[in-house]
Amino acid sequence: MKKLIMTFLLIITASAANAGSNQVSEVKFKPEQIAKFAKDVEKYAASKGARAFIISRVGQPKSKLPKGIDFTHTAIAVYSEITLSDGEKVKGYAIHNLYQSEKNSGKSSLITDYPVDFFWGAHELKAGIIIPTPELQQKIIEVIASGKNKSLHNPKYSLVANPFNYRYQNCTEHTLNVINAAIYQTTDMKQLKANTKAYFEPQRVHVSRFKLSLGSMFADGITTKDHSGKVKTASFGTIAKYLTKYQLATPAYVFEA
């Protein structure tokens, strides 16, 4: 009986350590498959003239995702002049992400990577793409190029962060903050959150609050402290609905290999 209890304790500890955005440890596709898919996504966006777009990926099997959530990580891709390590300059997309810290899953940082990095550990070669209107693209680029996106970052991470306040933040909420900062031309977080509350409809997280609260006892990076009532968070799908509702983007497109 003692051995059984110890085994369970080990399982719980291991699960708690992994309950959050972790370093990619398993690559499911061949490098050339990932590279081709990543380049195809770039070319698709480029064919649409997208200078900035919202991009998402699938990090887990669909069967394991809560109802209503189709993608597990969302970021903003920006058409850029990229200087390579040998000094050559080329054109392509750089992706601006909020990632959980490897060493502390309760913290996050803003990291720029590139399409092949973005899709390296994906569970499916599938991308969610939202292309904002050209005017909104330009404003999003300005927010990022000026560094204002950094002031919209809250490093206190929660997987199910409430987008209506700024106590915790996840990748999708940060993406939404950048979009709204572009729309409203402000980085005043109180104003942005008031506008978010007025116009944005988040995704209900179909996991009971009890389970989430219990999980927060064992794992950093998950909390319900920023929620009252039902737990709701920003998602790729809700950002797509938000932008299309206000005619600020074409309907979301799912690009598959």
Partner 1 sequence: MKTLSYLSCVAVLLTTFNSMAEPGSEHSGKASKHSALAVSHGTVGSAQVASAAVAVPLVVVGSVALSAGAASVEAGEKLSAVSSSSASKVTHTQPVELEVTEITITVDRSPAEAMKGNQ
According to CB under 8 A, which residues from 17 to 76 bind partner 1? 18-25, 27, 30-32, 35, 38-39, 42-43, 45-52, 59-61, 64-66, 69, 72-73
> Footprint of partner 1 on residues 182-221 (CB under 8 A)?
207, 211, 214-215, 218-219, 221
Q: Which helix (H) or strand (E) holds 195?
A: helix 189-199
Tokens for 248? 């600020």
Compute the distance between CA of residue 108 and CA of residue 125 in angstroms, rounded to an integer.
Answer: 25
Q: In one letter, which amino acid is 233?
A: T
Q: Is 102 in the site for partner 1 (CB under 8 A)?
A: yes
Q: How far apart are the first and last CA of the chain?
A: 49
Query: Residues 130, 243: contact at Cβ < 8 Å?
Result: yes
Q: Is 150 in the site for partner 1 (CB under 8 A)?
A: no
Using the rule CB under 8 A, which residue among 54, 106, 120, 181 binds partner 1? Answer: 120
Q: Which residues contact 137 (CB under 8 A, 6 or more apart)?
A: 50, 51, 52, 53, 131
Q: Is 142 in the site for partner 1 (CB under 8 A)?
A: yes
Using the rule CB under 8 A, which residue among 79, 164, 168, 236 binds partner 1? Answer: 79
Q: Is 151 in the site for partner 1 (CB under 8 A)?
A: no
Between residues 109 and 190, which has the closer beta carbon with respect to partner 1?
Answer: 109
